[in-house]
Amino acid sequence: MTPRVLINGVESNGMVPVSDSSVLRGDGCFEVIKAYSGRPFALDSHLDRLERSAMALEIAIPSREDLSSWIEGIAAGCPEGVVRVVVTRGSAVPGATQEPLTVVFAHDWVKGEGPARLLPVEAPWHAAGADWELAGAKVLSYAPNLSASRRAVAEGFDDALLTTADGVVLEGPTFSVAWVVDGVLETPGLELGILDSITRRVMLELADELGVEVVQGSWPLDRLELAQETMALSTVREIQPVSAVGSTVFPEGSVTADLARRYYQRVY
């Protein structure tokens, strides 16, 4: 089946102009939403974040009613897929009329097999808590993050774990992280400038349901040497165990397994 593509709500062949801001400048924002049985999970939360991102970028977006309708229609045609929403500023050519584009499409979901192995990589481009105009926005400019991922893969790992220059744990290139130390779930705090991950939010709610103590804050990388288990969190990964961060190895733990089980219960 050829996946449907909507641009500003109209069926399209999926072609975006070469003059578009997303192509020439990486100027725009996006969301990634998992469809389960043809229904988008946590749609309102994703749309809340999309609206905040677009506002930070000063890009006008369609109404929530239209966005919801487009996303739900696309999800229905890709029952166990991933729906992507991309918002661009429009033409980046000087003097051209800027007409924002909202692209909605879906693709098959391929879940990674088994636990992930992560390589710590310094991220000098990361705001790491500095206050700036796009703090917390989910923008299109992911080139530095993906470069870190490629480096990790080249060194035999599955992905990267981003840190500050002085070794404070931040997040993965496209996911959040958490770990367990003596029964306490620890995760980097949003004050570090990491993305306010929807999956991370759900994980925190589930930990509360399970009676697991949670501490959000700032930790050095060597904190993970004390952890009994570690996990990666994202729409695509869901709640995935991490088996290694650099040379530090972790077993698959019961807290991660319980959270993953509760996550599926919440979804369905």
Query: Which residues pair with residue 202 across a beta bridge?
Result: none
pLDDT at 2: 60
Structure tokens at 35: 């469809």
Rounded distance, CA 70 to CA 122, Å? Answer: 38
Q: Are 201 and 257 in contact (CB under 8 A)?
A: no
Query: Which residues pair with residue 239 across a beta bridge?
Result: 233
> How is 80-137 classified by DSSP, letter by letter?
TEEEEEEEE--B-STTS----EEEEEEEE--PPPS-EEEEEEE-TTS-TT---TTTT-
Residue 184 to residues 2, 54, 166, 213: CA-CA distances in angstroms?
Answer: 46, 36, 24, 5
pLDDT at 268: 87
Structure tokens at 178: 């958490």
At the top level of CATH, which class does the domain 116-267 belong to?
Answer: alpha beta
pLDDT at 114: 85
Q: Are 70 and 8 in contact (CB under 8 A)?
A: no
Q: Are 196 and 154 in contact (CB under 8 A)?
A: no
Helices 43-57 and 64-76, packing angle to 10 deg = 130
Sequence-ordered list of residues with C-beta below 8 angstroms from that of 109, at least 6 positions apart, any chain = 34, 35, 80, 81, 82, 236
Rounded distance, CA 65 to CA 4, Å? Answer: 19
Rounded distance, CA 186 to CA 220, Å? Answer: 12
DSSP secondary structure code for residue 99 in this structure: -
Q: Are 123 and 169 in contact (CB under 8 A)?
A: no
Please determine, looking at this structure, whether the domain spanning 5-108 carries the CATH number 3.30.470.10: yes
What region, left, alpha or beta, does residue 9 occupy, with left being phi > 0 and alpha being psi -120 to 50 degrees?
A: left
Structure tokens at 93: 């050519």
pLDDT at 260: 96
Q: What share of the chain is helix, strand, coil (3-state, %, to 5)?
A: 30, 30, 40
Rounded distance, CA 145 to CA 234, Å? Answer: 15
Q: Residue ranges of the domains in the chain?
A: 5-108, 116-267
pLDDT at 113: 74
Structure tokens at 199: 């999956």
Per-residue pLDDT of the chain (268 residues; tens, 9 = 90+): 467 899 999 999 889 999 999 999 999 999 999 999 999 999 999 999 999 999 999 999 999 999 999 999 999 999 999 999 999 999 999 988 889 999 999 999 887 778 999 999 999 999 998 999 999 899 999 999 999 999 999 999 999 999 999 999 999 999 999 999 999 999 999 999 999 999 999 999 999 999 999 999 999 999 999 999 999 999 999 999 999 999 999 998 999 999 999 999 999 8
